[in-house]
Structures are given as C-alpha cells and as structure tokens.
Structure 1
Amino acid sequence: MMSVVQIDDLRGLIALGEHRHVTEAAAALGTTQPTLSRLLSRLESELGARLFERDAKGVHPNPLGDLALVAAQDLVDRYDRLRMDLAGLFDPESGTVRLAFLDSMATSLVPRILHDVREHAPRLRVELRQEPGHEILADLDAGVSELALTSPRPPGPYGWLPLQTQTLALIVPPGHRLATRRECRLSEVAGEDFVTIPPGFGFRALVDDLLTTAGVTPRIAFEIGDLATVEGLVGAGLGMALVPERFAGATGTIKITLTAPTAERVVGLTWRNDRPLTPAAARFHTFLATTAPYP
C-alpha cells in the first residue's frame, strides 16, 4: 500500500538538506533524531532512490537528493502561499479583494475608490484586473474576480450597486460645423462620421440605443476599444463621438452638451449573487454601499 507524503515530511527533507546533520535538523524541527531518520528512510523507500549519503560527519544530498530538495522546496512554497492566500481571502481586515474594472475607469473612478478604501481599511489588499466588459463577466463567472466595476448593469445572476452616473457629451474636432455650438440634438448629427467602441461592448450598445432613439444611423469611421483613443481620433479630425464628459478636450476636441435627457451611463459594482462573497470582498462592498454615489 502506497504511503502518503505529508508537507511536514518535505519540511524534514529540506531541514536535512540545510543542516546536513540529522541531530541538528531534528532540533530545528522540534522533533527527535530517530523520528527524522525514519522519515528519511521512508521517503527514500517511497521514491525508490537513495537521496542522502551518510558518513561520520552527517548526511549529504547526492544528485538525486538535490533534485528532490528542489522539488520539495517548490511544493512547500506553493503550499505556504496557498495557506496565506486562503487566510487572506477570509480576513475582512487584511484579506484580498479581486476586483475587475473597465478600461474607461482606470484613471478616474478606480483610483478614487482605492484611495477611499485604503483610508477606511488600510490593510485590505486589492488585486486589480483591467479588461473589457465581456471578459469581466466571464471572470466573475469563473471566480477569477469576485467584484467588478462595470456598465451597464449586466443581466443574469449578478448583484448591482450603482456608484456613479456619467453624463455623455458629443465631441467634435476643431473646425467642425458644430464646433461653435454649446448644445445640440442628436438628430442633428445624421450623415456624420462616427468614432466609437466596437460591437459587443456595453458602451457601444448604449451609444447605438441613443442614436436609434434619435433616428440616426451612424456612419462608423473607426472602432476602437478604448474611450481615450476614441477621443484622440476625434481630435485628429476623423469623426465625432459620444463619450463621458470627462474624456472631452484631452486632444483639443470640442464638447457639445446633448439635449437628450437620457444621455448618460450608470457605473456600478457587480458580483455573482448566487454565491457568498468572501469577508474581504463583503467589507469592500459594504464600504462602497455607504459612500456611493461618487460625483
């Protein structure tokens, strides 16, 4: 019957490799010399190879022993990291929160939230994943991320905490026929070239809905999955775009206020509501619930 090698057995092997003497290694481990000697014999029997040479001065790993020590150290390190990671997930004060967020929030909302969380729970650790909306939901489903900042509210088994309402604006390049206007109706942009996010993104669906409601079929000049790049392409004179107001003007684009009352997007925190949050993630969620909305 095959014996089972324990993590502590591997620690004993590592101690022998470090001290090169059974008595000294046993003392370091808080065990006895006979116990450690039996452990080494059992491991060698289990692996079918002699790992240490014995002489009057102590024990010395042979080439096979060197290989076994490298493997043992790797396994022990992995196990110790696993224990630390699991302990962190279940500690609401110093645990780890796995947070995904949209690219468009990387330089605005996310830094503000992290700053506030750090002030409230300084030992809480946040692992960040910046990715498109469809990847965010896939990671939530797979458990890679536990919380996410996204927009719009996803359908399905997801909780939702609204955090910020962002007003959308029309941006045009300098010299455009609408550049001197302070506001306009979306119906006035029929026939214009548009720069926007590719299909499949939540923001693209929002833009399409707004234009459809206004009776406008846009002529798509460029599609790119980053709102800062969309603004840059507009600044280069390659079309117009609908973006959150804060993106306007970075490369000289002109912001025009839309008269459509629904020209906005809601950003929120989402999570799978069919599984419990870890204490660390629950702490993060509870804090945001008390501080929302963000202006």
Structure 2
Amino acid sequence: MELRQLQYFVKVAQKEHVTQAAEELHVAQSAVSRQIHQLEEELGVNLFMQKGRNLHLTAVGQLFCNRIEAILKDLDRAVNEVHEFLDPEHGEIRLGFPNSLGIHLIPSVVSEFRKLFPNVKFRFKQGTYPTLIRDVISAEVDLAFISPFPESHDQVVGNVVLTEDLVAILPPNHHLSGEQSIRLEQLKDDKFILFSKGYSLRPIVWHACLEAGFTPKVAFEGEETDTIRGLVAAGMGVSLLPEMALYQSFSLQPSRLRVSEPRVTRTIGLIHRTDEKLPLVAQSFRGFLLEYFGLDVDTPPIK
C-alpha cells in the first residue's frame, strides 16, 4: 500500500468521479483508476460502487476513508511541523513557566521577541516545579522557565538567567509596615500565608524562617500569588513574595518591605531536555533570552 494510492483514493471519494479527481490531481485518469484497482485488490474489497456517472463509497469504503483521511491530516501536520522546526522565523515555541512569572516576565520577553519575529507563535503551559520538569522531559514543552533552578538533573539542562529578591508583604496596618526594611526574625510572632506544598516558593520561605531562628506559623495556604497578596492586604497574615509578583496594582494592596537579614532570593532558570536538539525557532528564542538577561549566547548549559 502506497501513499499515492491513499491520496488518489481520498480524492476520488471526495469528487465521486475519477475524471474530476484526476484533473485536480494533475494526473491521467488511467493512473487514478489503476491505483484504485490495485488498492482494492490488496484489501480484497470493493471500495466504490457505480451509481450513474458517479462513484459512491461502499460501507467498508466509507469506514476505510474515514481512517485514511485522519491519517493524511496527521501526515500533513507532521510535514508542516518539520518545516517549522527548520525555520527560525516561523513555527511555534512551546514554553512552560510557573504562575509567578506570568504577571510580568513572560509577557515582557515574549513581546520583545515578537518585535523581531512577528510570525512566531507561542503555546504556553503553566505549572509547578515538578510538573514543569516533567513537561520538559516528556517533550510537552521545548523550553521552560523554572524556579528554583535545578542544581543537578540527568534529563534537563539550562542556565540561571535571573536571581530575584523576595520581599516581605504585610497588612497595611501592621506595626512594621512603615519601615524601609526588616529582619525576618521580626515576623516570628506573626501568622504566615504560604504557598501550598508542591510549590517551589514554599520551601524557600520556610527555610528562610528557619535560618532566622523560628518556624513559621501557617494561617492559610494558597496556589496563586494574587490570592496570597490579597489575603495579606486583608490583614489575614504576612508572607514573602518575589518582587516580580507585585507589579500589578489593585485597590487592596499589602505593604512591602525589604528583608535585610537573611537575604531571601530565588533563582530563575531556563531549561530544556538534555542532549536533544531544539527546533530552530526555539533555539532562536533561547539565544534571545540569554542576551535579554545579559548572558553570553554561547554560555554552556548547566547539567
């Protein structure tokens, strides 16, 4: 069974006429008839029946046609994806990132990149630290921003592109809200609003509190920076959030203060699969991102 036979078969099924199919395929009518006959002999069934001047699919022919049309569509899609893979100015970039980067960083870098390559499409996928690692390994995404940067992983590599401070956020009426900076130990008697387990910011804040000499008392847990920020602003507790998560302005805002001791930071990295060639469009985006964050394009990835 050859691809040409299947293409001829589907075209005849669509046109219900060999001559019209041959004209659209730009081949001789006899060539189409011969390919259809060979296909029927190989399958051992009649795919068409004559009705007047037209050909109609038999029941088994209709069943076969439905399957073949789906296969040919998948094949066309695969061919297009190969062409896009080889074209750095077109195609699609599949990018993963944590929720906290979706407010400012991702819109900023994508907007700047599309000024240079307006025809590139993006498919975004948000997730937690473990799901982003999994999405990279399973090829659900080409590249992923991740925080913290994985120190060592057999199946992903990448670069630290940014180190960001976490700041303390307090209710507006908190007795420390007028300060420029605080030591984290000054919040030891407050109730904390933290990310739920599984979110990478939770252990960063937890370990910082332990380093400051106390175990945080957890009042509430959340899964979105906006939720945590809103609960703090409403006086439900205190927290630490990345500066990047505080760009948007809402009517209800917490006070934000620099933490002088210990300094609390998170690393943000850009990762991809180990020993696998990225599509050219994704390679182009990776090079753009390294330059955007002030790194040399030839900076080797960290394993």
Normalising by structure 2, report the TM-score: 0.88
Structure 1 stretches of at least 4 aligned residues deviating more than 6 Å after TM superposition: none
CA distance, structure 2, for counterparts of residue 160 and residue 63 of structure 1 = 54
Aligned to 1:271: 272
Say whether the 8 Å CA contact 1:104–1:228 is kept in structure 2: no
- Once the two structures are superposed, the pairs formed by residues 133-282 of structure 1 within 5 Å of their partners are 133-154=129-150, 155-157=152-154, 158-248=156-246, 250=250, 251-260=252-261, 262-282=263-283
Q: Which amino acid aligns with 1:36?
A: V
Q: Are residue 292 (structure 1) and residue 293 (structure 2) matched?
A: yes
Say whether the 8 Å CA contact 1:95–1:125 is kept in structure 2: yes
CA distance, structure 2, for counterparts of residue 68 and residue 274 of structure 1 = 40
Q: Are residue 8 (structure 1) and residue 4 (structure 2) matched?
A: yes
Say whether the 8 Å CA contact 1:140–1:271 is kept in structure 2: yes
Q: Which amino acid aligns with 1:218?
A: P
Query: Could you say what the CA RMSD is over the residues aligned between the two structures, in angstroms?
Result: 2.1
Normalising by structure 1, report the TM-score: 0.90
CA distance, structure 2, for counterparts of residue 232 and residue 48 of structure 1 = 69
- When residues 172 and 54 of structure 1 are mapped into structure 2, their CA distance, relative to the original with a 3 A threshold, is same
- When residues 109 and 293 of structure 1 are mapped into structure 2, their CA distance, relative to the original with a 3 A threshold, is farther
**Number of residue pairs aligned between Structure 1 and Structure 2:** 290
Residue 17 of structure 1 deviates from its aligned partner by: 1.8
Residue aligned with 1:199, SS: coil
CA distance, structure 2, for counterparts of residue 146 and residue 201 of structure 1 = 22
Structure 1: tracts of 5 or more residues without a match: none
Residue aligned with 1:259, SS: strand
Residue aligned with 1:135, SS: helix
Residue 55 of structure 1 deviates from its aligned partner by: 5.2
Q: Deviations over 1:196-232 (max 9, x none)?
A: 1123322122112211111121011122222221111
Residue 136 of structure 1 deviates from its aligned partner by: 0.4
Say whether the 8 Å CA contact 1:186–1:211 is kept in structure 2: yes
Structure 2: tracts of 5 or more residues without a match: 296-303
Residue 188 of structure 1 deviates from its aligned partner by: 0.9
Say whether the 8 Å CA contact 2:183–2:262 is kept in structure 1: no
Residue aligned with 1:113, SS: helix
Q: Are residue 79 (structure 1) and residue 72 (structure 2) matched?
A: no
Say whether the 8 Å CA contact 2:159–2:269 is kept in structure 1: yes
